[in-house]
Structure 1
Amino acid sequence: MTSSDLLRFLKARSSVRDYSAEPLDPEDIDYILACASTAPSAGNREAWDVVVVTDEDVRMELALAALEQAHIREAPVIFVVCANYIRSMSHYGERGILYALEDATIACTYMMLAAHARALHSCWTGAFNENDVREVLELPEHVRPIALLAVGRGTPPLKPVERMPVEEHAHRENW
């Protein structure tokens, strides 16, 4: 893959909120998880976990927890990506909380790109009631849900989303 290929690949990905009910192949789920496991992490602590949700009733409960966002109910798979504080705090103390959050977000990004590589669609969802998600999935206290990643075959937007120019984000040498 050339650098031009990578940029084209990244620009072709978009958040999709309209999914068919067609289930994913187990191989697709395994591929996405395998890609996540290659994500860099602070001190290689891999302070993230994921709950793979395919059950329709559980997806319905997660959709309610996610402010009734329909794509959470409709996508055939929801990857609930969580920060596992214990894994990094055991080594880094309080700073490990930040590292676990970073590890989980990087792993989720890899999962989103892995779905794109399999010609699947995804939507990273951060708007949800954390306590409701925690209760639905019976998460332990040291695990915090960070993102609900909807994945499936969907209908992408008709035109690419406009992005801010790089110059709006990049500062060189100082602010």
Structure 2
Amino acid sequence: MNSSEFFDFLFTRSSVRDFTELEIEDEEIQYILKCARTAPSAGNRESWDVVIVTDEGIREDLADAAFGQEHIKKAPVILVVCTNYVRSMSQYGERGILYAMEDATIASTYMMLAAHSLRLQTCWTGAFDDETVCEILDLPQHARPVALLAVGHGNLPEYRSERMPLEEHVHEETW
């Protein structure tokens, strides 16, 4: 893949909230997770875990915890990406909290790109009640949910959101 193809690949990925009822194959989920394992992580601690949710009742509970966001209920798979503080804090102490968050975030991004390579759609959802998600999934105390990744076959939005000009983000040498 050349740089132009790579940019097109990135540019065509979009958050989708309108999912069809088509199922996702177990092999596709395993591929997505295998790709996530290649993500960089602080000290190679891989301070993230994921809960695969396909059960309709649990997806409904997660949608409620996500303040009624319907796509969480409708997507056939929700990948709940969590930090694993024990892995990073065992090496980095308190700073490991930040590193675990970064590891989980990067792994989530790799999952979305892997899904896109399979022509699946995703939506990163970060607006949810942490405590409720922890209760629903019986997460241990050393884990914190970072993202609810809805994954499935979806209908792309009719328009693409505008992005800020690059100049709004970039500073040279100093701010």
TMscore range, shorter length: over 0.9
Cα distance, 1:164 vs. partner? Answer: 0.6
- Runs of 4+ aligned structure 1 residues displaced above 6 Å come to none
Cα distance, 1:172 vs. partner? Answer: 1.0
TM-score (norm 2): 0.99
Tell me the amino acid that sits aligned with residue 70 of structure 2: A
- Corresponding residue for residue 41 of structure 2: 41
Structure 1 residue 9 corresponds to structure 2 residue 9: yes
Unmatched tracts of structure 1, length 5 or more: none
Cα distance, 1:21 vs. partner? Answer: 1.4
Structure 1 residue 144 corresponds to structure 2 residue 144: yes
Distance in structure 2 (CA, Å) of the matches to 1:137 and 1:22: 24
- Corresponding residue for residue 129 of structure 1: 129
Partner SS state of residue 24, structure 1: coil
Cα distance, 1:33 vs. partner? Answer: 0.4
RMSD between aligned residues = 0.5
Cα distance, 1:159 vs. partner? Answer: 2.1
Distance in structure 1 (CA, Å) of the matches to 2:67 and 2:13: 24
Distance in structure 1 (CA, Å) of the matches to 2:20 and 2:55: 15
Tell me the amino acid that sits aligned with residue 31 of structure 1: Y
Partner SS state of residue 128, structure 1: coil
Structure 1 residue 119 corresponds to structure 2 residue 85: no
Partner SS state of residue 141, structure 1: coil
Tell me the amino acid that sits aligned with residue 124 of structure 2: W
Distance in structure 2 (CA, Å) of the matches to 1:133 and 1:17: 20
- 1:21-170 mapped onto 2 (5 Å cutoff): 21-170=21-170
Distance in structure 1 (CA, Å) of the matches to 2:68 and 2:160: 25
